[in-house]
Chains A and B, each alone.
Chain A
Amino acid sequence: MSAPQTSGAPRRGRPLSPHISIYRMSRYSLLSSIGNRFAGLLLSLGLALLLAWLVCLASGARVYTTALSVLASVPLKILYALLALAFAYHLAAGVRHLIWDTGHGLSRQQSRRSAGWVFAIALLVTAVVLWRALLGGAGPR
């Protein structure tokens, strides 16, 4: 595995941390890992959207009401649903990481099982949030 040349300085055969090509990951643990990164990036986008919402709110009732026609449009509603999924997934996968950090659940079998739990919890939380948003009081109508 040759590392990409990342700096102008000459490399002096420095040790590299193990790279992707060295691992043989099972489908689920690979998916659970890259999924967490992807969900995190999506949530960063969601944060920008949250800021836009707050700035519109701070701009007064007229601006907010005008902006709501965009913020409550169908494409953005689909994005909110995706953001709910990303939040639930990032939350569950993040807790899994925190448990790993304590030194528990690191064996291959445990990690495979916890990947399944992460998917299940993420889907369940998303389902509850969407159900509440669509049928309950408020939500992005």
Chain B
Amino acid sequence: MSWRSALGRVEGYGASKEGVGHWWTQRLTSVALIVLGCWFLVALLALPGLDYATVAAWVRGGWTAPILILFVGVAAWHSQLGVRVVIEDYVHDVGTRTLALALACFAHVLLAALGAFAVLRVAFGSAA
């Protein structure tokens, strides 16, 4: 039986490791993007042309589609983390900043979802 209050007992233990969440996610996504980003760049440069038939065949072939979806998703995630910091650093008005952060978040989720849908649509051949 302790005489200490509930608040007294939990004080001083820090913030249950949540505080490094942004930093750690940024690092994880950056490591993934070293591989995915270089893959995308090399794959793009290796294409014999950028006409519809060539690019569509590339997206349909092999493991391109899942890796491309991963690339778009992780890049959007990493971008969101970065844009968030920039907004937090330079937009000082609370209302404007909250709005900007919300819009940036929506935009990135939309980007990832649309990107994944577009790749799947090409990969499964439902685009004419």
CB within 8 Å of B: which residues of A?
4-8, 37, 40-41, 43-44, 47-48, 50-51, 54-55, 57-62, 64-65, 68, 72, 84, 87, 91, 94-95, 97-98, 101, 129, 132-133, 136-141
Give bound CA distance, A95 to B30, whole Å: 9
Say whether B128 contacts A61, CB under 8 Å. yes
For B27, the chain A residues whose CB sits under 8 A away are 98, 101
For A91, the chain B residues whose CB sits under 8 A away are 34, 37-38
Tell me how many residues of B have a C-beta within 8 Å of chain A. Answer: 42
CB within 8 Å of A: which residues of B?
27, 30-31, 33-34, 37-38, 41, 44-56, 59, 72, 75-76, 79, 82-83, 86, 92, 94, 97, 111, 114-115, 117-119, 121-122, 127-128
Say whether A137 contacts B122, CB under 8 Å. no
Say whether B46 contacts A138, CB under 8 Å. yes
Give the number of A-B contacts (CB < 8 Å): 106
For A58, the chain B residues whose CB sits under 8 A away are 117-119, 121-122, 127
Q: A6-B97, A37-B82, A51-B114 are in contact. List 19 more A-B contacts (CB 8 A).
A: A41-B86, A44-B82, A44-B83, A47-B111, A48-B111, A50-B72, A54-B119, A55-B118, A57-B122, A58-B118, A58-B121, A60-B127, A61-B53, A72-B50, A84-B41, A101-B27, A137-B46, A137-B48, A138-B48
Give bound CA distance, A4 to B89, whole Å: 10
Nearest-CB distance from A40 to chain B (Å)? 5
Give bound CA distance, A84 to B41, whole Å: 9
